Structure 1
Amino acid sequence: MFCNDFFLFTLNRLRQVLNEQANGKYKLSVNDFIVKASGLALKDVPEVNSSWQDTYIRKYNSADIAVAVATENGLITPIVNGVEGKGLSFISNSVKEMAARAKENKLAPHEYQGGTFTISNLGMFNITSFSAIVNPPHSGILAVGTVQDKLVLDESSEKGFAVSKVCSFTCSFDHRTVDGAVGARFMGRFTSYLEDPITM
């Protein structure tokens, strides 16, 4: 299990600019950037984009990310296929559209079965941080906490500190396929995309 706190200032600034330019065609959320960064990190660290198959490890060419959605009938995980090659606006609209259909029990089986990695975001429930159980046969699951205001040192401020938006990420792995070093490398690549979101 790997935990990271991440400062969202740069990401939120870019998100605001992109949303202002969208003319209502889409509205990017922080979660859309998280999905995209995960897909790119899976391509950079392909060992995580894999599954344990009893006698061998299967690696996948496409980053197909399952996004957990709470419904009246329990959790369901709509899948965005080929995230690494999709734009943020496509991801945003796809997740919103599938989440809405999931809550109405209107997803086809192929839209929620399979995938190669899971993201579970409990930020809307004001959960600071949590660890999630890996969803077999996936090798990893990313748990996303709520965005919080935190005081940080800021030498440019008269008071010497500033308030910054911070989000907590916890990633759990199947250690039959992903050892500690590989997991750390994945988290490093994931956070590097969030730190420099223009690269997405």
Structure 2
Amino acid sequence: MECEVDALLALRAQVNKQLGEAGVKLSVNDFIVKAAALALRKVPAVNASWMGDFVRVYHNVDVNVAVQTPGGLMVPFVADADSKGLAAISAEVKGLAARAKAGKLQPAEFMGGTFTISNLGMYGVRQFAAIVNPPQAAILAVGASSPKVVKAADGGYKEVQSMLVTLSCDHRVVDGAVGAEWLQAFKGLVEAPLTMMV
């Protein structure tokens, strides 16, 4: 799915300017975590796991964030990410990533989670497919945003920042149509980021 992120980038810059003195600095990934969590609320069938002989649909939305560490990949999670504000998500992700890189994560911080995000945008990767983290049913791969020329509403053309995301699904739990429904919900939140705050 292709998402235009101009509104998200503008909102992020505005919030960071206004809250910078308070030490708040939101990343694009913080918005992605929040949008993914809210999309899981809208399409709960994706917030599920394959348990061998049945599907478990979760009531909580705990979003794992892939973090590269000297010892390999770790996936700590933000518990109840759907009900947390962007500043809280940002602080939590920064703390989890720092502890992961220092080898100080507690098992309760990475053993669990209901959905995973792998973001390689900071490495310049435009698009990739991530492997589902069992027993979870889906993982979102997030690429770097880049400029793209699109047709404007007035009939002319304009340049936008476009981000490609790929949802990998375990089809025992999430089929293509449900995955597409989730991607539409995610795209709607990313392209209208103020809706994440109401």
TM-score (norm: length of structure 1): 0.93
1:69 aligned partner: 67
Alignment pair present for 1:17 and 2:14: yes
| Runs of 4+ with deviation above 4 angstroms | none
- Correspondent of 1:6 among 3, 7, 14: 3
> Within 5 Å, which residues of 2 pair with 1:1-200?
4-22=1-19, 23-154=21-152, 160-200=156-196
CA drift of 1:26 comes to 1.1
Name the CA distance, whole Å, in 1 between partners of 2:157 and 2:27. 27
Partner Cα separation in structure 2 for residue 154 and residue 173 of structure 1: 33
CA distance in 2, matches of 1:38, 1:164: 22
CA distance in 2, matches of 1:151, 1:197: 21
Q: CA deviation at 1:54?
A: 1.4
Distance 1:196 1:126 in 2: 24
Query: Which structure is higher in helix share?
Result: 2
For the residues of structure 2 that align with 1:164 and 1:103, how far apart are their CA atoms? Answer: 34
CA distance in 2, matches of 1:155, 1:39: 30
Cα separation, 1, equivalents of 2:66 and 2:109: 12
Task: Give the letter for the 2:177 counterpart.
Answer: A
Structure 1, unaligned stretches of length 5 or more?
Answer: none
Between the two proteins, the alignment pairs up a number of residues equal to 195
The amino acid across from 1:193 in the alignment is: L
Partners of 1:166 and 1:42 in 2: CA distance = 22
By how many angstroms is 1:179 displaced?
1.2
- Displacement, 1:95? 0.5
1:61 aligned counterpart, secondary structure: coil
Cα distance in 1, alignment partners of residues 98 and 149 from structure 2: 36
The one-letter code sitting in structure 2 at the alignment partner of 1:89 is A
Report the secondary structure of 2:100's partner residue. Answer: helix
Once the 2 structures are TM-superposed, how far is the Cα of residue 101 of structure 1 from its aligned partner? Answer: 1.2
The alignment partner of 1:134 has SS state of coil
Q: Aligned letter for 2:140?
A: L
Q: Residue type of the partner of 1:19?
A: N
Query: Offset at 1:161?
Result: 3.4
- The CA distance in 2 between the partners of 1:195 and 1:10, in whole Å, is 6
What code does the residue aligned with 1:184 have?
A
SS at match of 1:119: strand
The one-character-per-residue Cα deviations of 1:40-70 (angstroms, maximum 9, x if unpaired) are 1111111111111112111111110100001
Pairwise CA distance, 1:154 = 3.8
- One-letter code aligned to 1:186: W
CA–CA distance in structure 1, aligned partners of residues 146 and 188 of structure 2: 20
Deviations 1:174-200 (CA, angstroms, capped at 9, x unpaired): 100111211111111111111111111
Report the identity percentage.
Answer: 49
Normalising by structure 2, report the TM-score: 0.94
Give the counterpart letter for 1:39 in structure 2: A
C-alpha deviation, 1:152, in angstroms:
2.6
